[in-house]
């Protein structure tokens, strides 16, 4: 009889899970504890907390020619990583080797920044070369810490594994080529009982030029590795216990959601829940591989599972069905309105409106249009509102002069409050219940939108009413 395939777990650790000696010690303990239940483990690590931000700011300062800041950043990077190496790596020879490698990478950082400073600009390719250094530094220390704790481990930069296009700052992986590399490089290590420790966030073009995977890149790396091995499960370790029903700073009764569907996770992330970016888990969810979001500092907690099957994700263990699973809020938005009687039945107004918005590089999280076609309203970040208005005025100069468009205007600061849950699409009259609850709480709603996924309803309320609106809608979870 053929031997069953050994169980494989991919564990990804965020910056707060490796950012201090105590945090990395806990991460090492979590990895070693998982060895009791899993035959093969692959680890993916982010940069230390705060390091990526420092690297990004360094490139911005380099463009300005700020040599002092670059030198200070070199000192900070060296000190932070050397401190971890000294505290977590017991072998003097190994510690010396890793410190030498850190020194070399920090020198590379300085050289890149000074080259940017001379040119006075940074290309996307140059930015990827700089920001990739955070993971390249942390992966060496985490692998060394595992070895010092008694677990055989080997670090690998995923520039040797994940093949991408040349869309720097947000590269797209070639999963077929990546799978070939995984089978060639990772499988032999696992067969030897080693723990591969991989850089998150990074890939490389066919020519070997370093790229990064964009927002949620380390989670995305873990999902790519998990899907191409393939793994049995992928666990995302962070500093919170899974996905919460609401921000606990706003709702004291907020609790961890045991299970969410991929569609629910996508809506939650888009509208303010920063725990997990949906793009990052798509490869494993599509492959039917479960994802679990865990707390590094509370490993005994179950956290949240992200599942492909919507029906499986909407059945709580107690057998009851909540209409709403979570409530989120995005603050510091402004509602921009394009209105005019001359818009009625005129084709292309919406296209020109959002073309003007796109020209400013602004993202639009919510759109609503009157059925009469006489107005379009949409939200933008408050900091972008003036630039968007200026672009709209330029795009509709003739229509404003002819009064086909009566006015373009922006509201004061508002918030987008979103209720998410599969129950929204299956519960008759749910919108009425939500508005009745908000009305009873004396909260005014300026606009409403429901996505095509039908698992979220978003409302625009005054900024001062956001917390009360979240608390009001959270009762649909707890009731």
What would the DSSP string read from start to end of 111-153?
A: HHHHHHHHHT---HHHHHHHHTHHHHHHHHHHHHHHHHTT--E
442 SS3 class: coil
Joined tokens for residue 148? 């010092």
pLDDT the model gives residue 385: 97
pLDDT digits (tens, 9 = 90+) for 7-37: 999 999 999 999 999 999 999 999 999 999 9
What would the DSSP string read from start to end of 413-435?
A: EEEEEEEE-GGGGTSTTHHHHHH
368 SS3 class: strand
Which of 62-66, 282-286, 453-457 has the highest average model confidence (pLDDT)?
A: 62-66
Joined tokens for residue 74? 């070199």
pLDDT digits (tens, 9 = 90+) for 340-349: 887 776 778 8
- Does 299 reside within a domain? no
Please report, for the domain that includes residue 446, its CATH number.
3.30.2130.10
Q: What kind and span of H or E run contains 156? A: strand 153-156
Residues 335, 220 share a domain: no
- Does 268 reside within a domain? no
Closest of 441, 439, 461 to residue 449, by C-alpha: 461
Joined tokens for residue 128? 């990827």
Joined tokens for residue 67? 């040599």
Residues 56, 187 share a domain: yes
Residues 354, 213 share a domain: no
Instruction: Decide which of 79 and 274 is more confident.
Output: 79
pLDDT the model gives residue 317: 47
Joined tokens for residue 352? 């020109």
Choose one of 220, 239, 258: the last residue of a domain.
239
- Does 108 reside within a domain? yes
Is residue 234 within 8 A of residue 226, CB to CB? The reply is yes
Residues 175, 27 share a domain: yes
- Does 440 reside within a domain? yes
Q: Tell me the whole-structure pTM to 2 decimals.
A: 0.86
Joined tokens for residue 440? 């009873």
Length of the chain: 479
Residues 334, 224 share a domain: no
The total number of structural domains in the chain stands at 2
Is residue 176 within 8 A of residue 219, CB to CB? The reply is no
Mean pLDDT of 257-275: 80
> DSSP code of 230?
T
- How far, in Å, CA of 469 to CA of 442, rounded? 10
Residues 333, 208 share a domain: no
Please report, for the domain that includes residue 91, its CATH number.
3.40.1160.10
Residues 154, 14 share a domain: yes
Instruction: Decide which of 426 and 294 is more confident.
Output: 294
- Domain containing 100: what range? 8-239
Choose one of 189, 206, 239: the last residue of a domain.
239
Alpha carbon separation from 76 to 34, 58, 70, 115, 305 (Å, rounded): 33, 12, 10, 20, 37
Choose one of 188, 218, 239: the last residue of a domain.
239
pLDDT the model gives residue 427: 74
- Does 1 reside within a domain? no
Closest of 112, 132, 137 to residue 122, by C-alpha: 112
Q: Tokens 């069905």 correspond to what residue? A: 321
Joined tokens for residue 281? 């888990």
Instruction: Decide which of 229 and 271 is more confident.
Output: 229
- The answer to whether the peptide bond before residue 244 is cis (omega within 30 degrees of 0) is no
- How far, in Å, CA of 204 to CA of 159, rounded? 5
Neighbouring residues of 323: CB distance < 8 A, sequence distance ≥ 6: 421, 423, 424, 427, 430, 433, 476
- Does 379 reside within a domain? yes
pLDDT the model gives residue 2: 41
- How far, in Å, CA of 88 to CA of 271, rounded? 39
What's the number of CA atoms in the CB half-sphere (13 Å) around residue 93? 1
- Does 297 reside within a domain? no
Alpha carbon separation from 121 to 30, 111, 113, 114 (Å, rounded): 42, 14, 10, 11
pLDDT digits (tens, 9 = 90+) for 186-224: 999 999 999 999 999 999 999 999 999 987 899 999 999
- Does 72 reside within a domain? yes
Closest of 6, 14, 5 to residue 222, by C-alpha: 14
Residues 206, 59 share a domain: yes
């Amino acid at each position: 009889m053929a031997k069953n395939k050994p169980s494989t777990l991919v564990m990804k650790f965020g910056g707060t899970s490796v950012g201090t000696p105590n945090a990395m010690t806990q991460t090492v303990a979590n990895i070693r504890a998982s060895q009791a239940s899993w035959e093969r483990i692959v680890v993916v690590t982010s940069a230390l907390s705060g390091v990526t931000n420092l690297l990004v700011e360094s490139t911005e300062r380099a463009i300005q020619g700020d040599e002092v800041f670059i030198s200070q950043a070199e000192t900070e990077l060296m000190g932070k990583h050397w401190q971890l190496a000294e505290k977590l790596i017991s072998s003097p020879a190994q510690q010396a080797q890793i410190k030498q490698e850190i020194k070399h990478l920090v020198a590379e950082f300085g050289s890149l920044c000074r080259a940017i400073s001379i040119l006075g600009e940074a290309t996307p390719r140059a930015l990827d070369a700089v920001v990739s250094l955070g993971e390249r530094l942390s992966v060496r220390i985490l692998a060394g810490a595992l070895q010092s704790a008694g677990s055989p481990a080997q670090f690998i930069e995923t520039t040797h594994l994940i093949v991408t296009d040349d869309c720097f700052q947000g590269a797209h992986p070639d999963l077929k080529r990546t799978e070939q590399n995984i089978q060639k490089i990772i499988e032999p290590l696992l067969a030897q009982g080693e723990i591969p420790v991989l850089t998150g966030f990074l890939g490389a073009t066919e020519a070997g030029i370093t790229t990064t995977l964009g927002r949620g890149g380390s989670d995305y790396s873990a999902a790519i590795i998990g899907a191409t091995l393939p793994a049995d499960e992928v666990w995302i370790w962070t500093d919170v216990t899974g996905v919460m029903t609401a921000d606990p700073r706003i709702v004291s009764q907020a609790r961890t959601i045991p299970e969410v569907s991929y569609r629910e996770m996508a809506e939650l992330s888009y509208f303010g829940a920063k725990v997990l970016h949906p793009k990052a888990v798509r490869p494993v969810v599509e492959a039917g591989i479960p994802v679990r979001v865990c707390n590094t500092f509370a490993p005994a907690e179950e956290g949240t599972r992200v599942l492909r099957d919507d029906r499986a994700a909407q059945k709580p263990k107690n057998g009851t069905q909540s209409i709403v699973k979570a409530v989120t809020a995005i603050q510091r938005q402004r509602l921009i309105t394009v209105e005019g009687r001359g818009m009625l039945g005129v084709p292309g107004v919406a296209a020109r409106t959002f073309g003007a918005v796109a020209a400013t590089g602004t993202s639009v999280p919510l759109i609503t249009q009157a059925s009469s076609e006489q107005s379009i309203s949409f939200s933008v970040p408050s900091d972008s509102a003036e630039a968007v208005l200026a672009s709209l005025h330029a795009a509709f100069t003739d229509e404003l002069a002819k009064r086909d468009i009566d006015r373009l205007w922006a509201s004061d600061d508002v918030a987008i409050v979103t209720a998410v849950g599969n129950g929204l699409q299956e519960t008759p009259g749910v919108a009425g219940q939500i508005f009745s609850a908000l009305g009873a709480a004396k909260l005014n709603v300026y606009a409403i939108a429901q996505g095509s996924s039908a698992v979220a309803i978003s409302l625009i309320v005054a900024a001062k009413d956001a917390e009360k609106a979240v608390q009001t809608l959270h009762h649909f979870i707890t009731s």
